[in-house]
Amino acid sequence: MNAIFRTGPDLDWLENDHPRIADRLRKIQDFAQSAADVASLRFRADQQARDGFEAARTNHGRAVDAEREGAASETDVLRMEAEVRRARERLDRTQAESLEIIAESAGAKTVAENCLRLLNNLRPVGAKRVDVIVEPVGERSPYFGKPRGKEAPPPVTTIKVVPVELPAGDPAEIAERLAGRIGDVRAELADLDHAVPRKATVLKRLPGLVEELAARGAPRLEGAGAPDGRLRIAGPRVIIHAEPARSGPGWKPTSDDALAMQAWLAPDRVLEKLKADLETAYAHGPVELDAHEKQRRSRDLKAQILEAERVECAALWKQIDEGGEQVRFRPDTDPRAILGIA
């Protein structure tokens, strides 16, 4: 079974209003279908290689049994062993090639799906959604997706085409150079996940945290002014994870909040300890970025990636337009860059 991508009647709006984008989509769909067909054929090649290996093992076993019975010579057994080794090598080689082809097929399918998803999100009001049709190879049927009955033509959607100026030089070299640059920027973007807030920002928060904790730690006098005159000094309590000594609705075991009491009694010493912990936490020199800086840097890097991918895709399209048959888009490429739209 393979994914059959078609530009059927549901994409007439794209064909009529944006023929260049529709042509690119058709080519991307053709790439995906061709890769899926090749992957399907590789399954047969793998099966033949496995069958050949099993047959060689069977013949070798028979030769060993025949030698024991005196009906075959040691030379016959050695010849069968050599045949098993050759069959094993053919199977390993075929399977390695198949893994590469399957990966290429999956990548081409991802590219086509991403482009279809993007265009489906941009389709005009009233235009039907286009999905992936799954059919066996060799049993393709026409795609029927026209709406039933008479309907008003859908309004024209607005798709902004982004012009790209391709630098001078060999398109293949340009695409390869940009792919490397995109990889570097993606790595920098991934490093943002490990960035921590700036130490100075955290340091400014520490006094407020101590004050908040100390406010909970002050003792209080209970019972004063009450008719029974039973005075009691109460302190902060904190819920603990323990089995309750008694049961009741909403009752949870608690204990004295020693940390809050320490913050009330000696806030300076608590703050001093927290500052020492902060120095230890930042001793390894992590990348420091506050939340707003991380967001801004992330937006900048993503914009750089998209800009580079637009030029990369322009170079790949130039190769395709010039007859390149082995040109493919990376599966993680932004579909906006592939289709050349905003």
Looking at the whole model, is its pTM more than 0.75? no
Residues 123 and 10 in one domain: yes
Q: Which residue has the higher pLDDT, 135 or 208?
A: 208
Calculate mean pLDDT across residues 205-221: 92
Total residue count of the chain as it appears in this document: 342
What is the average per-residue pLDDT within 39-57? 83
| Whether 284 and 233 share a structural domain | yes
Per-residue model confidence (pLDDT) at position 307: 96
Over residues 169-175, the mean pLDDT reads: 94
The residue whose two tokens read 């860059």 is: 337
Residue at 20 is within a domain: yes
Range of the domain at 205: 199-288
Could you count the other beta carbons within 10 Å of the beta carbon of residue 306?
Answer: 15
**Structural domain contains residue 304:** no
Q: Identify which has the larger pLDDT, 235 or 271.
A: 271
The top-scoring range by mean pLDDT among 76-90, 151-165, 275-289 is 275-289
Of 41-50, 128-137, 139-148, 245-254, the one with minimum mean pLDDT is: 139-148
For residue 111, name the pLDDT band (cuts at 50, 70, 90). Answer: very high
Q: Residue 144 has what pLDDT?
A: 35
Lowest average pLDDT, out of 152-156, 180-184, 252-256, 294-298, goes to 152-156
92, 234: one domain? no
Q: Which of 37-41, 142-146, 152-156, 216-220 is least confident?
A: 142-146
User: Domain end: 133, 159, 185, which one?
Assistant: 159
Question: Minimum mean pLDDT among 105-109, 122-126, 335-339: which range?
Answer: 122-126
- pLDDT value, residue 230: 84
Taking the CB of residue 294, how many other CB atoms lie within 10 A of it? 16
Whole-number pLDDT of residue 2:
43
- State which of 273, 288, 303 marks the end of a domain: 288
Chain centre distance of CA 255: 46
The CA distance from 115 to 118, in Å, is: 5
pLDDT at 182: 96
Q: In the predicted model, what is the mean pLDDT of the chain?
A: 82
Pure H helices in 195-281: 199-217, 258-265, 267-281
Asked if the structure places residue 320 within a domain, the reply is no
DSSP single-letter state for residue 341: B
pLDDT at 76 over 90: no
pLDDT tier at 245, thresholds 50, 70, 90: low
CA-CA distance, 314 to 329, in Å (whole number)?
Answer: 11
Report how far residue 60's alpha carbon sits from residue 85's, in angstroms, rounded to the nearest whole number. Answer: 11
pLDDT at residue 250, as a whole number: 65
Task: Specify whether 98 is located in the same domain as 233.
Answer: no
Residue 131 pLDDT class (50, 70, 90 cuts): very low
Backbone phi, then psi, for 257, in 5-degree steps?
-85, 85
Q: In a 3-state reduction of DSSP, which class is residue 144?
A: coil
Count of domains observed in the chain: 2
Domain boundary among 128, 159, 190: 159
- Are residues 129 and 225 both part of a single domain? no
- Bridge partners (DSSP) of residue 256 are 237
Whether 336 shows a pLDDT value over 90: the answer reads: yes
Using the predicted structure, report yes or no on whether residue 65 has a pLDDT greater than 90: no
Please check the confidence at residue 199 and state whether its pLDDT lies above 70.
Answer: yes
Asked if residue 117 is part of any domain, the answer here is yes
What is the CATH number for 136?
1.20.120
Token pair 């920002």 in the structure block, residue: 201
Asked if residue 179 belongs to a domain, the reply is no
Q: 3-state SS of 29-64?
A: HHHHHHHHHHHHHHHHHHHHHHHHHHHHHHHHHHHH
Query: What is the mean pLDDT of the segment spanning 13-17?
Result: 77
Give the residue-averaged pLDDT of 136-144: 38
Both 144 and 51 in a single domain? Answer: yes
